[in-house]
Amino acid sequence: MTGSFAEFRRRTFSSIMFGLCAGGAALIISILLLVIGYLVWIGVSSLSWEFLTAVPTGDVANPGGMRHAIDGTIILVALASLVGVPIGVLAGIYLSEYPTEYAVTGPLRFIADVLTGVPSIVVGILGYELFVVPVSRWTQSTISYSGYAGAAALAFIMIPIVARTTEEMLRLVPKNYREGSLALGATRAQTIFRVVLPGAFGGVATGIMLAMGRIAGETAPLLFTALGSRLLTHNPAEPFPSLTLQIYTYATGPYPEQKRLAWAGILVLLAMLFVVNLSIRLIAARHARTRVGA
Amino acid sequence: MTPSSVATPPAPEANASGWSRESGQAPPESSAGATLRRAKLGDALLGWACRLSAALIALMLISLIVVLVHSAWPAIRQFGPGFLVSSEWRANEIERPVRDAAGKLILRDGETVMETLPPAFGALPVIWGTAVSSAIALLIAVPISLSAAIFLVRVAPKLKIAGAASFLIEFLAAVPSLAFGVWALFVLAPIFQTYVGPFLYRIFEPIPGLRWMFYESVTVAGRTIERPIPLTGRDLFTGSLILAIMILPIVTSVSRDVLRAVPRTQIEGTLALGATWWQSCIAMLRYGRSGLMGAIMLGLARAAGETMAVTMVIGNNNQISPSPFAPAQTMASVLANEFGEASEGLHRAALLYVALILLTMSLIFNVIARRLVIGRLASVSH
């Protein structure tokens, strides 16, 4: 039994690593519960019906609500997704399904990776230079912060994320599915829409969901584009409110009543993300079941 | 047989004569020809939509670089590459009394002699802050994330907790940085100020080699003195820790997706060959290395460019200190703090120069992370 000690060491090392892996998972979950638990605990005690329905009063002792900011975030995310999701998914399809064309796939994937690494504050500054400054010059007005500029900045963040996750998920679909479909006479478009995309639906939806969640919670890209507003407005051509901007203003400000609103705002933001997260997860699960059943 | 929604395979002789270019065909086959034409049109449309979208991604990067370089040009021309190694940052010109070699004020006609320092900008402090905080965050987060991902894929399904655990971690990935920032500002920073900071001070301060962690050298009235750094809880260490917490979920959830896609036969094969649990995990990590690389890369990108949470707790001080307990500033936080107030001119150009460096740095981080991860996983295989 020459190898018995080595064998013992090998097994022991494996057990230790097992314990560390379990510990890692437990650590992340407990951090989550700690952070979310605290935010919810304080947030619930600050939340009120007025918070959801009223607009800011301008009175620091009785600051009103955040209806304007909730509407603003929903509109900004919808505008950004309208542009970002189709372009992102199509670009992801290109990266995954047209890999040999012109030998540009590698560089394009690299560019998409670089773009997902572009810090959100830089995107905000780009949005300022690209949308706010020229529009101001064109209309010869004061600095033209607008909801459109904010949505454009958010779409800029969304597109590369959706493209890369879509690509990664499409690549997980086995190659012989595609070959089988093509061999039965299906065209490339039919193969992509009826075989590849449905096979990766859950993953693609998760990617889109993560991207939407990310932009809904973004503050930095909006600081110099949408700017924020205390008014209830649904016109994206004006300086536009967002939940995150309003929370940031209140949390870093000096007034305790506004800080309470910031806590409540974060709770609302988290609740919105939770609902989106959960619903898309359920859709993905149902879709997976029907695919198996078909 | 399902009704034919896909193009019907044409007859062999039509195929031999190049059916794909055939426009008019015999009456029984005309509907098949129309279907075929429609299918080809669909193919072409999809192809061009995909190509345009992909081209837009390239255009995004180009516009990013062109716009930043163009707007930062006044600062680039004035400071050149020296911007990277200069540590002065004065947004406005300041007046200060002139001192002689001994540090004494110079008096003339009963008045102190003043000198005016012009605005000056240098990026070294913010580069330092970004690099150090990202490095600490990655060192903490990556081992935890990879081990948790392995647990979620290999162990959690057997315990029937995979769904719940995955959902929690995915949700944590969706929590915006602003929420972490508010939490860090109101909860983490006070805890560090009151408990953790003094505790670390009691343990490490007596160790002779670690004095630099708690003392800084400052020049007051011409003399250099050493004084303790006030432990405010809003410093590089707190900033790094919140960064680590923030990149945990994104690295974990992407790694988990990658590891879950490893075919079962790969794991069963290694186990059948006598591998221990951990050895089969290494085989999994090797199989998914390109995806894991993407996961870590995402985490690094998020750490280096993270703005809001860091801005709220890092202390916002444009000075280099070796101590992790001194307030610092990252490139992202200086942009968030000063860009809105920067009037037209050199200050704004200098901030755009910082943004350009931040962009370049994130590109370099991406490339290095890619190389490192491939190299390490390859060496594990031998």
Nearest 5°: CA angle at A228, between A224 and A230?
155
Tell me, what's the pLDDT at A163?
Answer: 94
Beta bridge partner(s), residue A240: A227
Q: What superfamily would CATH give domain B122-380?
A: MetI-like (1.10.3720.10)
- The answer to whether the CB atoms of B298 and A223 lie below 8 A apart is no
- Give the separation between CA A145 and CA A264, rounded to whole angstroms: 26
Tell me, what's the pLDDT at B16?
Answer: 39
Structure tokens, B373: 């991860």
Q: What superfamily would CATH give domain A49-293?
A: MetI-like (1.10.3720.10)
In the predicted structure, residue A256 carries a pLDDT above the cut 60: yes
Q: Is B315 on the interface with A (CB under 8 A)?
A: no
The pairing of beta strand B111-112 with beta strand B107-108: antiparallel
Residue with tokens 């996750």: A165
In chain B, where does the domain assigned CATH 1.10.3720.10 lie?
A: 122-380
pTM: 0.80
- Expressed in percent and rounded to 5, the helix, strand and coil fractions of chain B are 70, 10, 25
Closest Cα in chain A, distance from residue B197 (Å): 20
Closest Cα in chain B, distance from residue A235 (Å): 23
Closest CA to B321 of B227, B220, B213: B213
Tell me, what's the pLDDT at B24?
Answer: 45
- The answer to whether the CB atoms of B359 and A91 lie below 8 A apart is no
Structure tokens, B44: 């072409």
- Give the separation between CA B137 and CA A274, rounded to whole angstroms: 26
Residue with tokens 């929690």: B168
Torsion angles phi and psi, residue B201, rounded to 5: -60, -45
Distances (CA, A) of B192 to A108, B237, B306, B333: 44, 9, 21, 21
Mean pLDDT along residues A247-260: 88
In the predicted structure, residue B325 carries a pLDDT above the cut 60: yes
Mean pLDDT along residues A64-85: 92
Q: Is B242 on the interface with A (CB under 8 A)?
A: no
Which residues contact residue A277 at a Cβ distance below 8 angstroms, ignoring those fewer than 6 apart? A209, A213, B167, B170, B171, B174
- Give the separation between CA B131 and CA B360, rounded to whole angstroms: 13
Which candidate from B148, B248, B305 shows the least CB-CB separation from A120? Answer: B305
Torsion angles phi and psi, residue B196, rounded to 5: -70, -45
The pLDDT confidence band at residue A7, using thresholds 50, 70 and 90, is confident
> B 35-74 residues with CB below 8 A of A?
39-40, 42-43, 45-47, 49-54, 56-58, 60-61, 63-64, 67-68, 71
- Give the separation between CA B188 and CA A147, rounded to whole angstroms: 33
Beta bridge partner(s), residue A35: none
Domain ranges of chain A: 1-46, 49-293
Q: Provide the b/e sequence for A190-208 (b: ≥16 CB within 10 Å).
A: bbbeebbbbbbbbbbbbbb
In the predicted structure, residue B9 carries a pLDDT above the cut 50: no
Task: With beta carbons under 8 A apart, name residues in chain A contacting B68.
Answer: 122, 125-126, 129
- The answer to whether the CB atoms of A122 and B68 lie below 8 A apart is yes
- The answer to whether the CB atoms of A125 and B355 lie below 8 A apart is yes
- The answer to whether the CB atoms of A24 and B147 lie below 8 A apart is yes
Q: At what angle do helices B331-338 and B346-380 cross, to 10 degrees?
A: 150
Closest Cα in chain B, distance from residue A233 (Å): 22
- Give the separation between CA B143 and CA A24, rounded to whole angstroms: 8
A–B interface: beta-carbon pairs under 8 A = 296
- The answer to whether the CB atoms of B46 and A160 lie below 8 A apart is no
- The answer to whether the CB atoms of B340 and A223 lie below 8 A apart is yes
Tell me, what's the pLDDT at A162?
Answer: 94
Closest Cα in chain B, distance from residue A43 (Å): 11
- pLDDT tens for B113-154 read 787 888 888 889 998 898 889 889 988 998 999 999 999 888
Mean pLDDT along residues B349-368: 83
- pLDDT tens for B338-355 read 888 876 678 899 999 999
For residues B333 and B307, the answer to whether their CB atoms sit within 8 Å is yes
For residues B39 and A190, the answer to whether their CB atoms sit within 8 Å is yes
